[in-house]
Copies of this chain bind each other. A is one copy, B any other.
Amino acid sequence: MVTTLDPAVADRLKRTDDGLVAAIVQDATTHAVLMLAWMNDEALQRTLSTGRGTYWSRSRGELWVKGETSGHVQHVREVRLDCDGDALLLVVDQTGPACHTGATTCFDADRLL
């Protein structure tokens, strides 16, 4: 598998000092915002080439294929880059709950307003 990101895409990314871009994940069917994750170039390349949501875990410091252990995988239908190149929007078919807590989304528990 090619793990180097297309330079034409890589040139458009504006990364954090840690080399990451924020990735918003949205359910293709319900349109619910499921989670916010982070991607380095390799996570984005793997997502684009495999169609599985693949991220960089900031806490574990490693690549992470969503659902690899839980089975709650994401089949990625669309990947979009925002106007200033520092955020991605992934539209996915989510198997099972997206949140590690078992909730449908990571935003279900705590409403401030």
Q: Which residues of A contact B (CB under 8 A)?
A: 9, 12, 22, 24, 26, 31-33, 35-36, 44, 47-48, 51, 76-84, 86-89, 99-101, 103, 106-113
Contacts and interface: CB of A to CB of B under 8 A. Distances in A.
Q: How many copies does the complex hold?
A: 2
Contacts of A78: 111, 113
Given A31-B31, A36-B87, A87-B36, A113 B76 contact: yes
Contacts of A47: 113
B111 A82 contact: no
B100 A83 contact: yes
B79 A111 contact: yes
A48 B112 contact: yes
